[in-house]
Each structure stands twice: as structure tokens, then as C-alpha cells.
Amino acid sequence: MKITLITVFLIFQFIMAQETPLKLMPYPGQVNLKDGNFRLNEQFIVSTNGSINERLNFNTTRFLRRLSGRTGLFFPQDYITSKKPEQNAHLVINVARQGKLELGEDEAYEIVVSPENIKISAETDFGAKNALETLLQLLEADKDGYYFPAVEIKDKPRFKWRGLLIDAGRHFMPVDVIKRNLDGMSAVKMNVLHWHLSEDQGFRVESRVYPKLHELGSDGKYYTQEQIKDIVAYAAMLGIRVVPEFDVPGHVTSWLTAYPELASVPGPYSIERKFGVFVPALNPAQEFTYTFLDNFFGEMVTLFPDKFFHIGGDEVWRGDEHQDAHWNINKDIVAFKKQHNFKDNSALQNYFNQRVEKILEKYDRVMIGWDEILHDSMPENIVIQSWRGKEAMIKAAKRGVRSLLSNGYYIDLIYPAKDHYLNDPLPDDVDLTDDQKQMILGGEATMWAEYISPETIDSRVWPRTAAIAERFWSPGYIKDVNDMYRRLEYISYQLEELGLTHIKNPEMMMRRLLQNQSIAPLKTFTSVVEPLKGYQRGQKRIYTTFSPLTRVVDIATPDARVAREFNDSVDAFLLQPDKETAQKLEKQLNCWQENHKKLSELSLEAPAINEILPLSESLSKLAGQALVAVKILNSEDIHNTLKPDSELFQNARTSYGQVELAVVTSIEKLIKAASALK
């Protein structure tokens, strides 16, 4: 990698910024702190200049109301309108032109805060909106009131495509869920909602051309066309493009429930209640399939104006080794493959994809698909979404095909924020030329919905997605994990003002689960456990679309903060034992040791928590041994002996109720270190 003077300067800028208390996320590319502050009072006036438009006025008004809500100050302005600029304004926003809601539009901005005023400059209103989000994050307070620190910021996105996928197919997500997550996306400068709208478990859009799709394929849970238009329009006001996904030719049971004549094998079909990869697939050998898709896509593009249209294409049960694959059973399809000299079903799917691409091209749309659609004979004007690894993304880039990365950003798999944060779409050692790197548009976090409900989705999306948003926006050298977590705590609670429920809903669910008893013991327990990661949850228990998502595993959140901070404290203590850290650890361990008795008493009136009591007991026993270990290591109990209990560790690592303790390894370190002193 070449290190230029500019690179060194930018890295120096970030290191200097890290020494400040700024809580920005995504962190800007250039931050220059100055002396002084701009003090906020109730005379605060905002003025918009240049290319004033409805979207700029909407976001400026929204900024003003949120600022008022955070501070309790009564500002004189109500709605910002397109009237002449305000005189003597304290915040002046200059916009050169109205932005176009399309891939690659200018989203850069500059902010200058001085003790006298604040100035925002941007080429487009999208940039101005981003600047306003950064300005809200800059807000600080002291005994004298609220203020913005004097600072100069120059910022622009690293990647053009910064998305969040929301799966409304497996579990339906109502309009309010979609809108509040759009608000959250806007706050962290994401610009694409990838809306997964059809699945084996449900077809979620009203179709007036083929009405049985939503009438028979949705259990009555679908978006009307008016609701779709409203959400698309709302997203546009926030600078967010909406890309629909209708998954074909696999994951189509809900389609076939309504129109079995599309199927490769005769029906009847019914909506799938379980989760997984299923056999049914569209029939790629009949013209009716393409006529149907032509008419349907023609209707959908009137609802979704974005240039990009996602056709899925993943996990088609088509392998030649699958004797039950419908493409291997249907004699007409077998004959069709032979007639066209298709050597396998992969070639047949490629034929299907080419036909679909031509349909979308007719409607002036660019086809996106999961990495299974990458094939040497596919046209280059498509986009590959790489989910099984980075190999497809790199291969596509070398062919001159654009791609997105989702591998490593599957937030439904409950991995910690740091794992996603350090997963770079374009790491320094990637084997691509500069021109090939331009083929990597960005990436998407994916919120698949097997194990989420409208009540729990926010706690799975946020706040980790803010860290992913920073990876897509900020320069690649900004990757300090500890500082990321520091800033993430602030951004997390700020997201609540947008109606997101990731902080408040877990406690509400605890009250319900405990029959309104004290939630403190369960809160203590869930602060150190996490849901099983990866695909383990579905392997431990069979779920359906009607299974309850209200248990302790649904209350527990990914990346438990208390556990993470305890683990960090243990590492610091083992490196350099000291009295202050020892006292901190002892306080926490005493709490865990005593908690099991309290939780057991609660279970007498709340049997739903019985399933996690064995894990609670293991935590209590571990904490007891760890207390002795801390005293030994801190030279407070040098005459005691401690021997690691392998059976206890094994029990503590066993999951119960699909949750697992997140502190076992750290406690084991303490105990082994103490035992080694004897």
C-alpha cells in the first residue's frame, strides 16, 4: 500500500480527533476542533439559502424540532419554508442544487461552527441533511446550558451504497416499523432500504394485476399500494432509495399458493410455516412464467421508482444431486434442458435470470441478485450482492460487474458490533486494481426475520447497524474498536428520539414475562447473556411463523454491554492488578452470585423463565469462584487455594433457552490465573 503525505495527514487528523470527546457516528473524514463554543438559546434562528426545496425544508424543520426536544428550548420558528432567507440567522444552510435520488449523487457537506454562528455548505440538499445529523450529534451540555463546540468538518461518504435489508416476508413488519427504521438509517447516513417483500412464508405487496398474490399468499398481512407509495415518498424525503426484492425462482411458496400454474410441479401449495430452504420453484421452461413476471414487474416498477430491482435468485433447490428437486422431476423441464443443451440446473437458472434481466431492462431497471446469479454469460449491467463470501464480489469486480457486500453484515446472526465494524468491503490487501475497486458500490446489513417480530426487530438492528453505517461511510483507517463502542453508546440512546424501541422494549417484555414482578434480577441476568450466534437457534428448536418471540432469548440483546465491559476489566486486571479494578470486579461478581436466588424466587410466579435457571445457577457459582480469584490475584487472600472446575466451566458454556453466558471465558481466565499462583 502506498503511503502518501495526504494519507498521513488524514490519519493524523483522525488520531487528533480521537483525543476529543466528540461522539460522532459515522465519524467524519476531516475534523478540526477550534477554541470556543457556540452557545444555544431560545433566540436561535435557522436560514436556508440557495436551492431551497421541499425536502430541504422538511429536514431543516425536523432538525429544529429534534433540537428543541433535546434541549427543552422554545425556538421562535415553526415550519421552515421557502420564503426569503432569515436575516441575522445563527445557522445558515447553503445548498447549490436539489439532489437527485439516484446512485452516486453528491452527499458531501461542510460545517463550520464558530462562537458567533454556524454555517453548513453542501452541493445538494442530501449533503445538507447529512450535515444536520452531524450537527445534532455535536450537541453538548454543561452547567451553563447547551452548546456546539467550535469545529470545522469536511465529510463525504466512502461508498455510494449504504443499505439495510428488512425482511418483511418471513414475519410481516408494519408501516410504523419500516418508518422508524428509515429514521434511524437517516440518522447514521445510510441511503438504501432493501425491502425483502416475498418469501415462502408470505407475499407482502398488494397486486392489482394478480390480486391472489396478496389475497391468498399473505394471511392478510401485506402493504397496500398506497402504503408502499407513502413509505417510498417518506424515504425519499430522508434521502433514502427504496429497492424492492421479489425473490425468484426459489423461495416462492407464497406465489405458488396463489398461482400454482407457475410451479415446476403441480400443487396445491400452501403458505410455508417453517423456515429454511424449500423445494418449490418457478417453472423456467414455460412462457407463462415470463409473461406473468413481465406483467407483475411492470406493475411493481410504478410503485418503486428506483433504477434498481432485486430478483433474489438465492438458494434454489436445483442441485443435480437433489433427486427431489422439482427441476429434476418435471419431464417437460428435463426435455427443455436437453433441447437447449443445458448441462445442469445451474445453466437453467442462468437462462431464467437472463430472461428476467431482459424484462427488467424493458422497464429501465437494473437487476440485482444474490451471488448465485453471477455467471460468465450474464450481462455486465447487473449488480451482484455477495452473501456467501467476498469471492463473488471480487470475481464480479474483475469482470467489470458491480457488486455489494453483505457477507459479514448479517445482523440476524447476533455477532458483536466489532465483527461487523472490522469487516471492510475493500481492505488494504484486496487483489483489485483501482478501476476494479470502483465496481464495489458498498454494502448492506441484512435483517432476516426468522426470529424477529415488530417488538424485537429494533433491538437486533440497533445500535450495531450504526457501526456498520460508519464502515460504509467513514475512511477505512477509522477502525478503533474501543472508540467505536464509546461513541456507539451515545448514538444508541439518541436513536430513541426517533421512536426506535431497542432500549425500552426489552424491559417492557421483562415485565410481561415476570407477571409485573420486579425485573431487576432478570435485567441483571440478561445483561451478561446473548442469544445464540450464527444458525444455532434454529438448530436447537424448531420455529414456525406462529412461535412465540417473547422469551428471555428475545429479550437478551446482541453484544451485551455489561459483559463486554466486564471482559475488558478482567483483561486489564490480569495485565496489571490494582485495588480499584479489583473492587469493581468484586462488586459485579457479588451481584451475579446473589442474583440466582432472586431469579429463582421470581420463577415461582413466572414459569417462563425456568428454562434459563440452570444458566443462572452456573453464573452464580462461577461468580463465587471468581471472587476468590480476584482476592488471590490482588494479594488479599494469599492463603486460599483455588482449583479450576472443568465441569462447572462446561455447564456454564452450555446454552439454555437458546442463550449463552458471555463472561465465561473471562471468569475462567481469572480462576486459572489465581490457581497458577499456588
Judge whether 566 lies within some domain: yes
Pair (448, 529) in one structural domain: no
Closest CA to 50 of 94, 107, 6, 98: 94
Judge whether 611 lies within some domain: yes
Catalytic residue positions, numbered: 315
- pLDDT at position 19 is 54
Judge whether 228 lies within some domain: yes
Q: Exposed (0-12), middle (13-18) or buried (19+): which is 588, by Cβ within 10 Å?
A: buried
Pair (193, 340) in one structural domain: yes
Q: Which domain holds residue 545?
A: 504-675
Q: How many helices (H) and strands (E) does the chain have?
A: 26, 19
Pair (553, 428) in one structural domain: no
Regions of the chain with pLDDT less than 50: 1-3, 5-6, 8-9, 12, 16-18
Judge whether 485 lies within some domain: no
Domain boundary among 479, 514, 531: 479
Pair (143, 174) in one structural domain: no
Domain boundary among 121, 136, 155: 155
Q: How far apart are CA 562 and CA 630, in angstroms?
A: 18
- pLDDT at position 676 is 86
- pLDDT at position 16 is 45
- pLDDT at position 678 is 61
- pLDDT at position 184 is 98
- pLDDT at position 645 is 86
Pair (185, 211) in one structural domain: yes
- pLDDT at position 17 is 46
Closest CA to 525 of 587, 598, 606: 598
- pLDDT at position 634 is 87
Pair (292, 330) in one structural domain: yes
- pLDDT at position 384 is 98
Pair (517, 633) in one structural domain: yes
Pair (208, 291) in one structural domain: yes
Domain count, the chain: 3
> For 314-364, how does the pLDDT look when each residue is reduced to its tens digit (9 = 90+)?
999 877 677 789 999 999 999 999 999 999 999 999 999 999 999 999 999
Pair (531, 469) in one structural domain: no
Pair (552, 603) in one structural domain: yes
Domain boundary among 110, 126, 155: 155
Judge whether 19 lies within some domain: no
DSSP string, 121-180: EEEEHHHHHHHHHHHHHH-EEETTEEEEEEEEEEE--S-SEEEEEEE-SSS---HHHHHH
- pLDDT at position 204 is 98
Judge whether 10 lies within some domain: no
Judge whether 295 lies within some domain: yes
Judge whether 484 lies within some domain: no
The residue assigned the cell 410481561 is 512
